[in-house]
Amino acid sequence: MDIKIKDLCEKIEKAYDVKILFCVESGSRVWGMSSEDSDYDVRFVFKRDIKEYINLLNKDEVIKETYDNMFRKCKPKGCYIDLVGFDIFKFLKLFIKSNPTTIEWILSNKLYYGEIPKVFINFIIKNLNRIAMYHHYKSMCKQNYLKYLKSGALVTYKKYLYAMRGLVYAQWVACEDTLPPINFKEAIEKSYFLDTNIKNKLLKIIELKKSGKEKDIVENDIKIDRYIETFLQKDYSQYLGKRQLPDITELNEELWKQLGLK
């Protein structure tokens, strides 16, 4: 699969006339809870020739391609490989705000292509915006809970894990001054603030999902539902400190370097 995705990256570079800085796996495969039929969530950051940025006709900031299990282009729904790429400007504008999606990309333990600039990793360690991350993950928990679990529309192991992933990571950001582990099982095991019974339930659900039962329709787990509702009613703002503007000098330097201006 590594070679196939590398080939797809090279095809995208030629088709869109871009250069991919790095390409990684995202989603359940790096969260430590993928099943045999899990698709591949491939994410990348690309740059264009400097002249393309000084142009009255701006190019797209996002590139999307989807493929089936035979590596043929297909419609997004039900695809086997989902590739999404951000232009370096779009990526960095989100990144300096501690956007969790972009942070998870650079923390991925699966690199398919290119190289992640060390400047990116060093920056987020020094300039983590806990407020932004907390609200992002809490919103993730709330949306999944209300849309799928509380409504009874789609109560599955997968939806419980998505809702609880938001909860655990939001609590982690509020209680710890560090980035949460990208591996969800590791985050659960290291979360001292998480109720022991809930922790054991989540670890069991992860194993059920990995065994291929992620889409099984199940009944609501009353204890987990109550735990989520209690969390959503709480305000952790007092633990998050004040938001400070980060020093983006190093990121600008890296951007100029990538574009050949330095």
- The predicted structure's pLDDT at residue 37: 77
User: Per-residue pLDDT for 200 more than 90?
Assistant: yes
pLDDT of residue 239: 80
The model's confidence at residue 38, banded by pLDDT at 50, 70 and 90, is confident
CA–CA–CA angle 207, 25, 67 (5° rounding): 100
- What's the whole-number average pLDDT of the chain? 92
d(CA 202, CA 261): 49
What per-residue confidence (pLDDT) applies to 214?
65
How do residues 17-37 score in pLDDT, each as one tens digit?
A: 999 999 999 988 999 888 777
Q: Are 202 and 165 in contact (CB under 8 A)?
A: no
Average of per-residue pLDDT across 169-195: 92
Q: What is the pLDDT of residues 234-261, one digit of tens each?
A: 988 788 877 778 899 999 999 999 999 9
Nearest Cα residue to 131 out of 24, 223, 222, 239: 239
| Integer Cα distance of 196 and 158 in angstroms | 20
pLDDT in tens, 95-149: 999 999 999 999 999 999 999 999 999 999 999 899 999 999 999 999 999 999 9
Q: Which of 84-93, 146-155, 168-177 has the highest mean pLDDT?
A: 84-93
DSSP-H helix ranges across the chain: 2-16, 28-31, 50-53, 88-95, 100-107, 118-126, 130-144, 157-175, 184-190, 196-208, 222-233, 249-258
pLDDT at 72 > cutoff 80:
yes
Q: Could you count the other beta carbons within 10 Å of the beta carbon of residue 202?
A: 26
The pLDDT > 90 percentage for the chain reads 77
Structural tokens at position 142: 């709330």
The mean pLDDT value for 158-163 works out to 92
In this structure, the chain runs to a length of 262
Other beta carbons within 10 Å of 83 = 20
Which pLDDT does position 29 carry in this prediction?
92
